[in-house]
Amino acid sequence: MNIPAALFSLQNQVNAQLGGDISWVMNILFYVVFIVFIFYGQRLQTYVMIREVEGSLYKLKYIKEEGRKITIETIKEIGKPQTDPTARVDRFLEYFTISPQSLDPAGIVWKLEHILDVRDIRFKDEVKLMAPSADETQTNNLENTLEAASALNFIYKVIRHYYLLGKKTLSLYVIMQIQMILPMIMKEAEAYASALKAFAYGQPIGDGAGALVAARLMHGYEIRKLEKDCVVATVPFEGRTAFIVKAEGPGGNVGKPGDAVKQVIEENKGKIAMIVMIDAALKLEGEELGEVAEGVGAAIGGPGVDQFKIEEELLKYHIPINALVVKEDVGDAVSPLRKEVFDSIDTVIARIKEVVSERTKEGDKIVIAGIGNTIGIGQ
Amino acid sequence: MTETKATAPTTRISAFLLTIVFITLALSFAALIFAVYILEQPTEAETAWILILLGFLGVGISTYVLFQTRRRISKLKIIVPPVTTTIECKKCGFKNVREFQRGDYIFKEGENCQKCNEKTLITAIYREVKDKEKQKMPF
């Protein structure tokens, strides 16, 4: 609403009804407000935005502190460390990873893979030092818990940076940048807060939809370990031989599906009729939670190393690839598995059967890869 | 940094905001009392009504702001949704649904079945969210 116009109209009404001294005071008041809004309108808007960001910052600080507290309590409970892990946890929350230089992009995937491997090993070692009594599954869950706490810490610091910068410069444009995307950031922070508990308790999360499909298909069959925290089972499927691949559960783990799928293809000398990948995908507002969509391409998120490796193999042996995704929003993807997503697993399996029957012949070999964090999902 | 120190400012209401609210509240009450006092003089009736209007407006706004601040504080908690575990008997199909316990995972073998004494299996772990009635959208 145009404030000066509204005030002007109000002033006219008061003038008409009261007249005299009050009318004169209202006149002065109107001009004062008008002049103030002309010169300080933007400044006032900045203050309003700063207050709004400040409110969210309080909430973020609370979530971050709670995350840290939950992480320390879980480490103490599961890991039974001899010394207080607080200082080590605080140090972990500040860890960073520098991505490789991309001025000359040739070979960057391998550099990125190396950096990620080093990071993974470092994280695992740190967790083992913090929680010496934790078994492998618990170590993986604790690593995920720490990563969620670290993400919350990072979000808080970035918002605080823009808030303080906005307050210091009183620039509308500095504070506006963060105020505009604040609802999405808060949603993400709340999702991570919810994920913390799920990781600490080892509950399955929404991102595990793909892994759950693979687990359903391979359960009861002989399971063999593959490259880097993945497993495979050879399963008869609609008259075909299916190699079902997933990350090894039930600990919080995504494995290296790129290497696992590559290994299966190489073991079969490229004689694979089709690859089907299943993953959770971000839904758009208005789409139903647990909706299943079908397409082509490597359905896998993350930094891109695994996707690259799978695509290289596809190209080498000219293997067609199909993808099935289960739609979820960011909150559902990292928080405990929703019933809607769980119920969609049957639909996904029915769709895989359809795709395989329509696009391959009996006796063919196929690869079905369930992608995602397998926390709380065995095999 | 101790935990108490770290969490204390989170729940604190801005002192500046509180001061403004209480000053507004005090001035509004003063205006109301003054209005009642001058209402007794028939010549000043118009001024009295204006003061009553301003007084109620001030009381209303400050109460609303205080209520909003209180609501913001009460919202500050991480909600842990209830998660259920479904255990099924492979032989007789007996189903048992209970609250999730640490160590549960899908396809974990559980205790023996209450009915046929066969091994049970955890077949589902999920949370059910009762969505608020969705607003009808034309698209």
Q: Which residues of B touch A378 (CB under 8 A)?
A: 105-108
Name the helix (H) or strand (E) containing B20: helix B15-39
Residue A39 placed within a domain:
no
Q: What's the average model confidence in pLDDT over B38-64?
A: 83
Q: How many CB atoms neighbour CB B73 within 10 A? A: 15
Of the two residues B8 and B48, the one the predictor is more confident about is: B48
Whether residues A183 and A241 fall in one domain: no
- Mean pLDDT value of segment B103-130: 88
Report the chain A residue with the minimal C-alpha distance to residue B134.
Answer: A286
Q: Give the whole-angstrom CA distance, residue A347 versus residue A379.
A: 19
pLDDT of A6 reads 54
Q: Are residues A124 and A65 in the same domain?
A: yes
Q: Which of A201, A222, A245 is the last residue of a domain?
A: A201
- Which of A18, A65, A215 is closest, CB to CB, to B6? A65
Over the stretch A224-233, which tens digit does the pLDDT of each residue have?
Answer: 998 788 999 9
Q: Which residue has the higher pLDDT, B31 or A4?
A: B31
Confidence band, pLDDT 50/70/90 cuts, at residue B132: low
**Would A29 be classed as within a structural domain?**
no
In a domain, A336, yes or no: yes
Chain length of chain A: 379
Nearest chain A Cα to B136, which residue? A286
Domain B83-127 coded CATH 3.30.70.1560: no
Q: How many CB atoms are closer than 10 A to CB B45?
A: 12
Q: What is the Cα–Cα distance from A277 to A320, expressed in whole angstroms? A: 11
Q: What is the C-alpha to C-alpha distance for residues A89 and A86, in angstroms, rounded to an integer?
A: 5
Total domain count for chain A? 2
- Find the domain containing A336 and state its range: 206-370
Q: Which chain B residues are closer than 8 Å to A65 by Cβ?
A: 3, 6-7, 10
Name the domain boundary from A149, A180, A201.
A201
Which positions of chain A have pLDDT values less than 70? 1-23, 25-26
Residue type, A290: G
User: A93 and A115 share a domain?
Assistant: yes
**pLDDT at site A233:** 95
* Per-window interface: A 24-83 vs B, CB < 8 A: 55, 58-59, 61-63, 65-66, 69
Contact assignment for B78 to A196 by CB distance below 8 Å: yes
Specify whether A97 is located in the same domain as A195.
Answer: yes
Scan for tokens 């973020």, then name that residue.
A60
pLDDT above 70 for B72? no
Q: Would the pLDDT of B52 be above 60? A: yes
Contacts of B72 in chain A (CB under 8 A): 55, 58-59
Higher pLDDT, B93 or A71: A71
Residues A218 and A356 in one domain: yes
Task: Please check whether residues A352 and A266 belong to one and the same domain.
Answer: yes
- Give the mutation candidate from B17, B127, B128, B135 for the A interface (greatest A CB count, under 10 A): B127
Question: 């934790």: which residue's tokens?
Answer: A134
Indicate whether A155 and A227 sit together in one domain.
Answer: no
Q: Assess if residue A3 is contained within a domain.
A: no
Q: Is residue A152 located within the same domain as residue A300?
A: no
Q: Which residues of A111-133 are buried (b: 16+ CB within 10 A; e: fewer)?
A: ebbebbeeeeeebeebbeebbee
Q: What is the C-alpha to C-alpha distance for residues B25 and B59, in angstroms, rounded to an integer?
A: 6
> Do β-strands B109-112 and A230-237 pair in parallel, antiparallel, or remain unpaired?
unpaired
Q: Rounded CA gap, A249 and B122, in Å?
A: 14
Statement to judge: residues A243 and A113 lie in one domain: no
What CATH number does the domain containing A277 carry?
3.40.50
Confidence at residue A11, expressed as pLDDT on a 0 to 100 scale: 57
pLDDT at position B136 is 66
> Please, what is the angle between helix A136-169 and helix A86-93, to 10°?
60
pLDDT at A103: 92
The answer to whether A145 touches A200, Cβ cutoff 8 Å, is yes
Strands of B12-104, DSSP E: 83-89, 95-99
| Domain presence at residue A37 | no
Mean pLDDT, range B107-111, rounded to an integer: 87
Residue A33 and residue A25: Cα distance in Å, rounded? 12
- Dist CA B18 CA A301 (whole Å): 47
Domain boundaries, chain B: 14-75, 83-127
User: Which of A201, A230, A261 marks a domain boundary?
Assistant: A201
Distance, CA of A213 to CA of A374 (rounded, Å)? 11
A323 and A177 together in one domain: no
Distance from the Cα of A180 to chain B's closest Cα (Å) equals 20
CA-angle at B68, arms to B77 and B75, nearest 5°: 10
Q: Measure in Å the smallest separation between the Cα of B78 and chain A Cα atoms.
A: 7
Our CA angle for A281, A284, A286, nearest 5°, is 130
| A171 and A129 share one domain | yes
> What are the tens digits of pLDDT across the range A152-182?
999 999 999 999 999 999 888 999 999 999 9
Classified as helix, coil or strand, B99 is strand
Q: Looking at the predicted structure, is the pLDDT value of residue B56 above 80?
A: yes
Q: What is the pTM of this model?
A: 0.80
CA B90 – CA B117 distance, rounded (Å): 11
Q: How long, in residues, is chain B?
A: 139
Q: What secondary structure letter does DSSP report for B106?
A: B
**Highest mean pLDDT pick, A78-87, A356-365, B23-32, B92-101:** A356-365
Q: In B, which residues are within 8 Å of A376 by CB distance?
A: 104-106, 125
pLDDT (0 to 100) of residue B24:
85
Residue A193 falls inside a structural domain: yes
Distance of CA A99 to the CA centre of its chain: 19
| A8 occurs within a structural domain | no
From the list B79, B107, B129, the residue facing A219 with the nearest CB is B107
- pLDDT greater than 80 at residue B139: no
Partner-chain contact A197 B78, CB within 8 Å = yes
Which residues on chain A are in Cβ contact (under 8 Å) with B100? 201, 203
Residue B3: the pLDDT is 34
Among residues A34, A14, A16, A38, the alpha carbon closest in space to that of A26 is found at A14
pLDDT-derived band at B115, boundaries 50, 70, 90: confident
Rounded distance, CA A209 to CA B14, Å?
44
Cα–Cα distance measured from residue A249 to residue A138, given in angstroms and rounded to the nearest whole number: 11
d(CA B109, CA A265): 32
Q: Helix/strand/coil (H, E, C) string of chain A?
A: CCHHHHHHHHHHHHHHHCCHHHHHHHHHHHHHHHHHHHHHHHHHHHHHHHHHHHHHHHHHHHHHHHHHHHHHHHHHHHHCCCCCCHHHHHHHHCCCCCCCCCCCCCCHHHHHHHHHHHHHHHHHHHHHHHCCCCCHHHHHHHHHHHHHHHHHHHHHHHHHHHHHHHHHHCCHHHHHHHHHHHHHHHHHHHHHHHHHHHHHHCCCEHHHHHHHHHHHHHCCCCEEEECCCEEEEEEEECCEEEEEEEECCCCCCCCCHHHHHHHHHHHCCCCCCEEEEEEEEECCCCCCCCCEEEEECCCCCCCCHHHHHHHHHHHHHCCCEEEEEEEECHHHHHCECEHHHHHHHHHHHHHHHHHHHHHCCCCCEEEEEECCCCCCECC
Statement: residue B8 has pLDDT above 50: no
Residue B26: the pLDDT is 87
Do A262 and A287 fall into the same domain? yes
Residue B6 has pLDDT above 50, yes or no: no
